[in-house]
Structure 1
Amino acid sequence: MALGTEGELTLTSRIRNTNSDGKPFTFTFAYHTYFSVSDISEVRVEGLETLDYLDNLKNRERFTEQGDAITFESEIDKIYLSTPTKIAILDHEKKRTFVIRKDGLADAVVWNPWDKKSKTISDLGDEDYKHFLCVEAAAIERPITLKPGEEWKGRLELSAVPSSYSSGQLDPKKVLE
């Protein structure tokens, strides 16, 4: 783990197969990152538009994202596939953008339990769902398999940058470059 001079947080994970029996080791992986947001209904996620995803609320049925950004008005639990190395979470009220950069992690999970499910989660208050969003760098669709002695490395960098909206939207090209 490293904290950069601009406040960016970098997490690097290494997993090595140390099996002495010659057997491969297979796993999936996700950094479970929760982002504090002003109001989930005012947040946009950019960088995942037009991608295929598996919807965990529909038995992992495969769909293609249709919007120009992901916005929130109900529970979401999706695994976006073959995602770019950069994803942005735009928070209009806080005038800030979280930038997620990732390596070695092809997928991204987007999750928020919304009101009904949040009432069933013991460590969440009934209204807490309004103030967080999970966007997780992950390797899920294609599990990682390591032969004995092989090592996998995954890296996640998180940063928050000030932003302002113009006509209700940020220019995603500036954030995602």
Structure 2
Amino acid sequence: MTLEIHSIRAAPDQILFGFSLNLTNQGSVDAVGLMVRIALNQGSAMTEPVLARFFDGAGGSVLRDDMALAPGAGERLDGEVVLPRATIEPLPMGGKPMLVPVAAFDVTYHWDGAGDGFGQVAGSFVIGRETGPKESDRLAPLPLDRATYVVSQPGARATAMRRSL
């Protein structure tokens, strides 16, 4: 599972994130009944216990349901998610209100045949503005002191909080 952030746009009442989630079946049998869920919030609200509960099935929104992926096949899910400004508690940085958003994705599936089973791939990503080459570890937070803006170099980095069953 990889995440690409294509756009970050701030409006007076919300921050919009355009993304592509890339999924690949790395197994040897069809993965069926895939359900993809998403959760988005500020980083301080996406603590390890909150993410663990999300990975356990609590909260979030269904992005796609009842997908199937053949062995080696992949699919790109494009979408846009919104974070209402009214739900954001600004993080003061350098005397300015900032936002460090975190998106979490949870993909559950099953397979048929010998050894019927259930699988899950879940992960979380910090979202921000690129500060250098795409391979750089650092992303800049998003300013909340401007009513509208577009981030010219949006980016995402996987966090250590993930699950694979």
Where on the TM-score scale, by shorter chain, does this alignment land: which range? under 0.3
TM-score (norm 2): 0.27
TM-score by length of 1: 0.26
Q: Higher strand proportion, which one?
A: 2
Identify which of structures 1 and 2 has the higher relative contact order when contacts are C-alpha pairs closer than 8 Å and 6+ apart.
1
